[in-house]
Amino acid sequence: MKFRYTMKGRAALTTVTIATGLVLTVAGCSGGDGDTSSDSKSPSTASKESDGGDDKQETETSAADSVLAEVKGENGLTLVVSSASRDSGGFVTVEGTVTNNTGGRWMAVEWRGDERELAKNGGSVAGANLVDQAGKKKYLVLRDTSGRCLCTQFSGGVRDGESAQWFAQFPAPPEGTTSVDFQVGAMPPATIELSGDE
Question: What is the fold, at CATH topology level, of the domain defined by 67-193?
Answer: Immunoglobulin-like (2.60.40)
pLDDT digits (tens, 9 = 90+) for 137-162: 999 999 988 888 999 999 889 999 99
Nearest-angstrom CA–CA distance, 118 and 103: 27
pLDDT digits (tens, 9 = 90+) for 83-101: 999 998 899 999 999 999 9
Nearest-angstrom CA–CA distance, 31 and 46: 18
pTM for the full predicted model: 0.65
Q: Where are the domains of the chain?
A: 67-193
